[in-house]
Homo-oligomer: A and B are copies of this chain.
């Protein structure tokens, strides 16, 4: 597991630095199967699959707990069979290191289910 999970989100101010896109590949290597959707705002996204609805709801709640603990809130798309997460930093309209930290912690939560 990536040591990103040892980090904690820092307060993200409007002048906080975006992650330089040249660093995306190295950061993605520290995660499991995440990708970056490069649209008007870059987002770090991953879909997790579940064999039953209860497990997907449980995972959603654990991610919500993480969001509150880190004071950083992703888009969570809960459907039967899957949960899709999208992490990005609203204030800087793109990817902050916080997003990679939260992605790594999301994987850790999934792997501990």
Contacts and interface: CB of A to CB of B under 8 A. Distances in A.
Contact of A77 (B64, B67, B77, B80): B77
A53 B53 CA distance: 22
Contacts of A73: 53, 79-80
Interface in A34-80: 53-54, 57, 60-61, 64, 67-68, 73-80
B75 A76 contact: no
A87 B60 CA distance: 19
Interface of A: 53-54, 57, 60-61, 64, 67-68, 73-80
9 contacts: A53-B68, A53-B73, A57-B61, A57-B64, A60-B60, A61-B61, A73-B79, A75-B78, A76-B77
